[in-house]
Structure formats: C-alpha cells, structure tokens
Amino acid sequence: MKEKIIRKPQLGTWLEGLRKEYEIWAPVKKNGLVLFHPIESAKEIHFDFSNTKKTAKDLFFPQSEVLFSFRGGEIEKEADMVLEKPRIILAIRPCDAKSLALLDKVFDSEDYQDPYYVERRKGTLLLGMACTHPQTSCFCTSMRSGPFEKTSLDLLMVDLGDDKYLVEAVTQAGKDLMGKDGSFEDVQEKDRERLAKVKKQAEEKIKSKVVIEGLEEKLDKIFDSPFWDRVHQRCLGCAICTYLCSTCHCFALLDEGVNSREQRVRSWDSCMFPDFTLEASGHNPRISNRERMRQRVMHKFNYFVKNFGETACVGCGRCIQNCPVNIDIREIIEEIENEQPLPS
Amino acid sequence: MPENEKQLREVAEKLLIDKKVDLIIGYEKGTLPLRTRPTFIREPEETKRLVWNSRCENNLSLYLKTVKEKVGIVAKGCDSRSIVGLIKESQVKREDIFIIGVPCPGIIDRKKIEDVLDGRELLEGVESDSQILLKAEGFEETLDQDKLLHASCRSCRHRNPVLSDTLVGKEISQPQTDEYSDVEGFASQQDNERWAYFNDETSRCIRCYACRNVCPACYCPQCFVDQSLPTWFDRTPHLSDTLIFHIIRTLHTAGRCVDCGACSRVCPMNVELRMLNKKTEKDVKELYGYEAGKDLEELPPMATFKIDDPQEFIK
Amino acid sequence: MKEDQIVATEKSEWKPRIIAFLCNWCSYAGADLAGISRLQYPPNVRVIRVPCSGRVDPYFIIKSLQHGVDGVLVSGCHPGDCHYISGNLVARRRFAILKRILEFVGIEKGRVQFSWISAAEGERFSQVIKEITEEIKTLGPNKKFVKEI
C-alpha cells in the first residue's frame, strides 16, 4: 500500500526498529533552537516547530569539512568519503527537501560530481513532515514548492491531529521502510477527508505571494539602476542570510593548521563578506555592500536560472526571520517588479 | 513612548525642510509583527514612516561611519554613548551630525517573546502604555514590557541621551541598577565551570559575524579574523578559534563597548556572550575609573596610561 | 629546530613548555646577564625577543596557548625606564585587561604571567623563571585553547 496510518505512540516503536540499520537525525530543541541532531529515542524529537534554525543542507554540505591532512608536503590522511551508517532525516520540511534538488544541480550534475556531497545523498533517506502550520514569512508556493510538496522525499508524513500521522511512500526505498514494521494501519475514508482538509488549510495559510514570472528578464534590465543604492543601505554585510539559506552553497578551500600539521578544509563562505571577491592584487570587483547585495539577488533570481533553469530559492523564509535589520526578499522582489529600467 | 513618535516625526521633517540635514536615520515599521528596522529618509514627506516604540532595538550609530551626508540621527541613551565614542575616535565629526535624542525606558528582547510563545509564531503584537499584547494561534497574552526587557536594558544607567542636539519628549527617571551582579555571580563559579559554559555557548556560533558587523565600535577596514598574512585564526568554526574570536573582540572593544546589547540581539544561534563584555567593562571601570561614551574630552582608556596604574599582577 | 621536536612525546614524562616574550632593551638583556653570570635556571623556557613589551599583542599570548604551550611570560622594562618612553605603560593596561578576561573564561591563574625585569637583574630573571616553572608544573599541562587536528 502506498499510504498508511501510524499512531503517535507507535512512532517510537517504528523508529526503534529503523535505528538498528540507520542513524536517525531529527529535530531536537536545545537552548531555544530547533536543530537536526542524531537521536537515540523518539522521546528526544521535538515535533512542535515550524522549521529548524539551520537548514538541511548542513547534513550534506557541512559548514566545515576536512578533505585531507598533510605535513611537510606529504598527505597524511584523506577524508573518509563513506558514511559509517546509512542515515534517515526525519521530519524534514518539503522546502528543505526541495532545496536539496536545487543543490543537486550544483553538486551532482552531469559534468561534475562532488564526491563528499554525493556519498551523503546516496546514503540518506528523507522522511518529510508536511507543514500544517506554515509561517507568515513562508512563500514556498510561489517558488515551485509547497507545504505538502514531495520533491526529493522518500516518505511524506502528515499530522492529521487526533494522534495520527498519514504516511505516504514517495519512492520504493520509502515504501520499504514502512514495510519493515507492523505499527502501520490502513487508511480510512475519513483519514483521506481529513488529509484534504488539512492540506487546503495549510495552502491557504500561505498568504505571501511572490511573482517570479519575468523576474529574470527584469533583473537583466536594471543591473545599473540606482535601485541597488536604496536596497542595500541598512544591510550589515554579515552572513546570516547566506548561512541560514537552504540553497546558498558558496564555499572556500582553505589550508589551516597548527604546529606544522595542516588540513585542507572546505568551509562555507559568504558572498556578503567584503573579502569574498578580494583578489591577490588588492583589487575587489565587488567593492561595496551595494555590489554584493546586487550579486546575491542576481545569483538567486537570474544567474542560477540561466545556468540551471530554476530560481535558487524555496521560499523557506529563514532570511526574513533572521535578518538583524529585517531585509525582506519579498519586498525586494516586489520593488524589482516596479522598478523602471534605465533608458538604453 | 508612542506619544513621542509624533514629535519625532515633526522634528525630523523640519530638519529636512530647513535643510539642516540631508538624511535622517531612524526606525520604521518592519515586515514581521512587532519588528522595527533602520530607515534612511531624505524627503520631508517620508518622515511619517518614522516610529518610536519599545521595539526600536538597533543601534543606529553604526551607520554614521559610512554615510557621507549631513545626518540627523535618532539616538537612545546607549546609542548616544556610541556616538560619543565615534566622535572621540575621529570616525565622525560632531558638526556633521544632528543628534535627535530619545529618552528610552528599555527595549524588549525578541528572544524573550519567542520563549513565551514556545514555538508558536507571533501573528500580532500590540503595544500600549507599558504592556505588550501577544497573539499567536490559539494563544493570547498581555505582558508587562518590564518582564520582556533585554538584559542590557535592565541594567541600563543611561536612559537619557548623554549628548544630543534636541530631545524628543522629557527626560525620564533613572533608577539605580546593579549592573555587575551577573558578572560577579558568574565569576564566583569554578574555573572549569566557566570554561565549560563558554565552550558550550561558542559551540553554536556559526561565525556569521553579525555581532561584529552590528557593533558601532567595530569599524576596522580589515578585521583580525579576515587577515591572511599572517592568518591569526582560521575561518572554519573550530571551537578553539571561535572562542578566541569572541575573546579578542571583547578585548578590542574594551573601554569602548556601551552594552547596547545589539550583538546579543542579532545572534541567530542564541549565543550569549554579553558576560565577556560586561566583565571587561567592569574591569575598565574598576582599574581606570572610565566609562565608555560619557565624556567627549576623556581619552580612551586603552590608548593612554597613568604612571601609577595598578600593577599588583606584575612580578 | 623543527617545531615538532619541541612537542613532548607520549613516552616521556610531561615537561612544561613556557614561552617568554622578552623586551630587547631590558628583560632580554637581563636574561643575557643571567647566562653570562652562569646562573642556573630551568631549561623549559623558549625566549622570543621583541623590541618592547608594548609590541606584545594579546594574539601572541593566546596563539601560544593554542599551539599547546603550558605557560606564557611577558617581561619588559620597569615603568619609567622604557626605551621607547611609554611602550610598557600602554602595555600594562592591555595586560591587566587580558589577564582578567583569560582568568574569567577559565584559564588557570598563573598560566599567563607578567614581569618587569631590568638589564641589570640577571639574578632576578633566573629567579622569576624558576618561580614560573614551578607554578606551571603545579598547574599541569595546558589543555585549554589547544587546537587539536
């Protein structure tokens, strides 16, 4: 059966069975933050959240990753590219799952495969949790995603209320996970009615609408417009929006170490940092925050579209919620729509 | 506080009309419930965007370093002390700014509101008198603003701006506060307990540098963490490097930090390092009798010396 | 000498490693005098000569701890005697704040120490080194701030 019901008390039993084969990562609340952690029991899972503070990209493209260590020109140890144990990410939101599809275009394309990323993707199953309570800052429905979207997921779970989850298999692997346990019940007609109701309510809750039709072309026309002088004014130039973004993926390769032992590390970098484009000569093509803000918007809504055919944004709203000066990408896009192109 | 908003807008509008300033930096309503954000106004009619309430949390003096026009800036007590610091360090000229001082009884802490809501999304917030009504799905509660104040505001001893060209509203009373009780309590713990606390806090740090970038006192063209010849501290968030970044930033802002709380407010990972800054502030006061941002004439404490400075720690 | 040769191997008993930043005009000369006078002092100290104690940045001290040294000494001229007039006086304030913040964070009292030693104080230099070495021996190896890779 493609769909099943599992009751909340049985969830723990099912996960306990899965834990024998898989390392399970789930949202855990600590210090006021909900983040993905490996768990020992279902009791640790925090289900009452809108979205995790940091994104799912961390689990495939970690903030820092040692590629190899070396001393005196000789490589001492190379990174293990194999996961110790296959993983399950439980309760990942559909927007975060969609973001992995976008990251796949960069890290796992026809021409280039990043072995570290690919290995993690291959060894991980994604068990999604539909958003029954989207936030006011969510705009996934405008970004080819949605609160019940199934892209990249192996399973989608929906909280129907009344202590029940509806679980739908999206891939064969997901189906196999369900088949391994007797905790599941058949779906009743009233469950399907409830599902339809909950889905409709969730989609209606997403009031933020962002229009991306024609955005790419518009951006081409306003590259030199004074619009960008206004947009960047209060930006601090920190990395919050880039580090907490589901799809941002810039990184730096750095040699770091102490006491003559060094490591080559791949770690996140941010296009909002002043030295992101600083060249060895001292020249910096993106000399001020204005150019960097412009490049960020262009990358997401123009360059990525040109290179990969899709906008590099899933509408998760983390940048809006976390920006210290409340820079709102929805506002920026609306202003872009209204901006008059300069006469050519 | 909201009653001063009208006066603030009038003052700002007049400044622009009379061309006393080219730019007003103040606060406007944000796009999320209860949020405000910095705003830059150049046309007199736009001054109706200006707001003044218990949620005006950013320290606007941050922007003085980069604007090249004559500026009218809205400044709370702590902000005005930052401005004094910037003038003293020749980052901004006194005659280029017009300080619109606003007496401030305290700004609420958004993180405290998140704690109260316990995972629910804030849908609406209404401020009135000295209370805030919070509305979320299936939840409604009115709280005293006092209970929601940020820690910096609770120990604030400068509610009225120390330097201003005009004051919006009347000066407000300044209660006595015991600023350093947190630091003293913490210092009484064991070495290893304190070490564990700081390591635990910094383990969450993602090195986004929002704390550094939002600080008005941090204006080095190249920060020490961004130096590469030599590379003092590595970029990747290794626990050792990250804790050191925060300690050195505290050292660099010693005697200059006014405890506006901006750094702790902006941190997305709830890293609480205000204890470090408060400790250094206490030391500078005890050892050298200096308080940041009070006096335009006083020399910065770390750039000067006295022959009889305390040295009992030196062999 | 390669840095790794300084590292104590697992097999041998732990011996403290102490870095001493000595100002060229006073403390380094004092250390030199101790040497010329054949005064004995523990060999656990590595000296780094700086023009003035005012040159010593908190980075150097913290970076040393990160590299795994067990103790740091910074020594300069007595106040009033600085070759550059006031280098040590400005440094004095910097060191006071640094010492307090390091201890506040949990670094053991006595890991990072400061002294004023003049060029004539060879005897005193060897005395200070003896004291510090004993104090660090009691504190044990430094595990805090050490960056392991």
Per residue in C85-100, pLDDT (tens digit) is 999 999 999 999 999 9
Peptide bond into A324 cis (omega under 30): no
List chains touching A (3+ CB pairs under 8 A). Answer: B, C
Interval A211-262: pLDDT, tens: 999 999 999 999 999 999 999 999 999 999 999 999 999 999 998 887 678 8
**Per-residue pLDDT tens for C99-141?**
999 999 999 999 999 999 999 999 999 999 999 999 999 999 9
**Does the pLDDT value for residue B13 go beyond 80?**
yes
Determine, yes or no, domain membership for B215.
Answer: yes
A258 touches chain C (CB under 8 A): yes
Range of the domain at B264: 178-315
In this structure, is residue C4 part of a structural domain? no
Read off the tokens for C77.
Answer: 């001229």
Per the CB < 8 Å rule, is A48 touching B119?
A: yes
DSSP lists the bridge partners of residue B143 as B132
Interchain contact B223–C (C-beta under 8 A): no
CA distance C52 to C25: 7
Asked whether residue C144 is domain-assigned, the answer is no
The number of C-beta contacts closer than 8 angstroms across A and B is 109
Average pLDDT of span B19-48: 95
Q: Would you call B231 an interface residue with chain C, using a CB distance cutoff of 8 Å?
A: no
B101 falls in which pLDDT band (50, 70, 90)? very high
In a domain, C115, yes or no: yes
Dihedral, CA of residue A209, residue A211, residue A212 and residue A214, to nearest 10: 180
> Which chain B residues have a beta carbon less than 8 Å from that of C80?
307
CATH at residue C75: 3.40.50
Residue B301 in any domain: the answer is: yes
Going by C-beta distance under 8 Å and a sequence separation of 6 or more, which residues neighbour residue B176? none
Structure tokens at C86: 């006031």
Residue A124 has pLDDT above 50, yes or no: yes
Partners of residue B223 in chain C, C-beta under 8 Å: none
C19 — pLDDT class (breaks 50, 70, 90): very high
User: CA–CA distance from A181 to each of A159, A163, A305, B263, C113 (Å)?
Assistant: 19, 19, 43, 49, 64
Q: Is residue B246 part of a domain?
A: yes
Indicate which of A35, A55, A66, A234 best probes the interface with B, i.e. most B CBs within 10 Å of its own CB.
Answer: A234
Query: Quick one: pLDDT band at residue A183, thresholds 50, 70, 90?
Result: confident
B215 to chain A: closest CA residue: A236
Q: Distance (Å, rounded) from C-alpha C60 to C-alpha C46?
A: 14
How many structural domains are present in chain B? Answer: 1
**What crossing angle do the helices spanning B191-202 and C87-105 adopt, rounded to 10°?**
90
User: Is the residue at B39 inside a domain?
Assistant: no
Asked whether residue C2 is domain-assigned, the answer is: no
Residue B57's contacts (CB-CB under 8 Å, 6 or more residues apart) are B36, B107, B108, B110, B150, B261, B262, B265
Cβ-defined contact of C114 to B313 (cutoff 8 Å): yes
Which pLDDT does position A180 carry in this prediction? Answer: 62
Is residue C126 in some structural domain?
yes
Q: pLDDT class for A264, splitting at 50, 70, 90?
A: very high
Residue B240 forms part of a structural domain? yes
Q: Distance between CA A63 and CA A210 in Å, rounded? A: 30
Residue C12's pLDDT is 61
- Please, which pLDDT band fits residue B216 given cuts at 50, 70 and 90? very high
* pLDDT surpasses 90 at C7: no
Residues of chain A with Cβ-Cβ distance to C64 below 8 Å are: none
Which of B32, B111, B231 is nearest residue A32 as measured by Cβ atoms?
B111
CB contact under 8 A, A322 and B204: no
C-beta separation of C131 from C16 below 8 A: no
Mean confidence (pLDDT) of chain C:
91
Cβ contact B251–C79 (<8 Å): no
Residue B294, number of CB atoms within 10 A of its CB: 14
pLDDT above 90 (res A77): no
Residue A202 contacts residue A159 (beta carbons within 8 Å): no
Q: Please, which pLDDT band fits residue C11 given cuts at 50, 70 and 90? A: very low
Query: Is the CB of A74 inside 8 Å of chain B's CB atoms?
Result: no
Chain A nearest-CA distance from C85, in A, is 36
Task: Report if residue C147 sits inside a domain.
Answer: no
Q: How many domains does chain C have?
A: 1
The partner residue sitting opposite B270, judged by closest CB among A31, A239, A325, is A31
Tell whether B19 is covered by a domain: no
pLDDT for A304 beyond 60: yes
**Average pLDDT of every residue of chain B:** 93
Q: Which of C66, C67, C149 sits opposite A263 (nearest CB)?
A: C149
Confidence of residue A1 (pLDDT cuts 50, 70, 90): low
Flag whether C97 is in a domain.
yes
pLDDT at B3 over 80: no
Chains contacting B (3+ CB pairs below 8 angstroms): A, C
Q: Is residue B303 part of a domain?
A: yes
The pLDDT-based confidence of B231 (bands split at 50, 70, 90) is: confident
**Is the alpha carbon torsion for B212, B213, B217, B221 positive or negative?**
positive
What is the pTM assigned to this prediction?
0.93
Domain containing C55 equals 18-139
Asked if C62 and C107 touch (Cβ cutoff 8 Å), the reply is no
If you average pLDDT over every residue of chain A, what do you get? 92
Are C104 and B276 within 8 A, CB to CB? yes
CB atoms within 10 A of CB B56: 24
Rounded to whole angstroms, how far apart are CA atoms A337 and A341? Answer: 10
- Compute CA distances B8 → B15, B74, B168, whole Å: 11, 9, 6
Closest in B240, B248, B310 to C147, CB measured: B240
Minimum-distance CB partner of C67 among A256, A258, A263:
A258
User: A71: pLDDT confidence band, cut at 50, 70 and 90?
Assistant: confident
Residue of A nearest to C69 (CA): A259
Is residue C41's pLDDT more than 60? yes
Interchain CB distance below 8 Å, A259 and C2 = no
Q: C96–B283: do the CB atoms touch at under 8 Å?
A: yes
Using pLDDT thresholds of 50, 70 and 90, give the confidence band for residue C1: very low
Q: Does residue B232 lie within any of the structural domains?
A: yes
- Across chain A, where does the E strand assignment appear? 3-7, 23-30, 33-38, 64-71, 74-78, 87-92, 124-129, 155-161, 164-169, 251-258, 261-268
pLDDT, residue A72, reads 81
- Token pair in block for residue B85: 């610091």
Task: Name the more confident of C6 and A146.
Answer: A146
Is A201 in the B-facing interface, judged by CB distances under 8 Å?
A: no
Question: Between B204, B209, B210, which is nearest A31 by CB?
Answer: B204
CB contact under 8 A, A325 and B58: yes
Residues of A with Cβ-Cβ distance to B235 under 8 angstroms: 252, 254, 256, 267, 269
Which pairing describes strands A87-92 and A74-78: parallel, antiparallel, or unpaired? unpaired
Of B121, B207, B236, Cβ closest to residue A136: B121
Between residues 63 and 122 of chain A, which touch chain C (CB distance below 8 Å)? 66, 69
The partner residues of B126 in beta bridges, in order of sequence, read B133
What is the strand order of the sheet A74-78 is part of?
A74-78, A64-71, A261-268, A251-258
- Would you call C86 and B302 a contact, using CB atoms and an 8 Å cutoff? no
Whether C31 is covered by a domain: the verdict is: yes
Helix H, strand E, coil C: the string for C80-112 is CCCCCCCHHHHHHHHHHHHHHHHHHHCCCCCCE
For the stretch B263-274, pLDDT in tens is 999 999 999 888
Question: B238: pLDDT confidence band, cut at 50, 70 and 90?
Answer: confident
Helix spans in chain B (H)? 2-17, 77-88, 110-117, 145-148, 151-154, 181-187, 191-202, 210-214, 239-252, 262-266, 274-288
For residue B287, count CB atoms less than 10 angstroms from its CB and return exposed for 0-12, middle for 13-18, buried for 19 or more: middle
